Amino acid sequence: MVRRLARMMLATVFVLSGIDTLRNPEKQVATATPWLEKAIDKVGDKLPEKVPTDPTTLVRLSAGVKVAAGIGLAFTPMHRLSAIVLAGDLVPTTLAGHPFWQFEDKAVWRQQRTHFLKNVGLIGGLIIAGFEKS
């Protein structure tokens, strides 16, 4: 019972942020675009033709993954797979969204580092949830 409640608590942030991003993707698209452009420049020609490379589409896909996998983490027997999917999705989100090492302003640096480390902690919690024994 405690594990189920903990998974629901952990899932909440992903479901709500995913819904928010689906409704209003502009800020996340602006944040993700430079990172995505660099990544696509490196591997774009090796991607299959049907793989989307448009930042808006990729941000919305990520948001959909957060909603679906968050619900899966909270309420389904596939909670382990959902946790691993969320952890994998959170890695590029963290790198693109909170690159604290790029800021010289100490206040901004601290704020971005805090968000980066918060996400690292969430990834750790998801890894625990993904590999827990029933």
DSSP string, 15-74: HHHHHHHHH--HHHHHHHHHHHHHHHHHHGGGS-TTS---HHHHHHHHHHHHHHHHHHHH
CA separation for the pair 67, 86 (Å, rounded): 10
Whole-prediction pTM value?
0.89
- Domains of the chain, by residue range, sit at 2-43+51-130
**Tens digits of per-residue pLDDT, 60-117?**
999 999 999 999 999 999 999 999 999 999 999 999 999 999 999 999 999 999 999 9
**Tens digits of per-residue pLDDT, 21-38?**
999 999 999 999 998 888
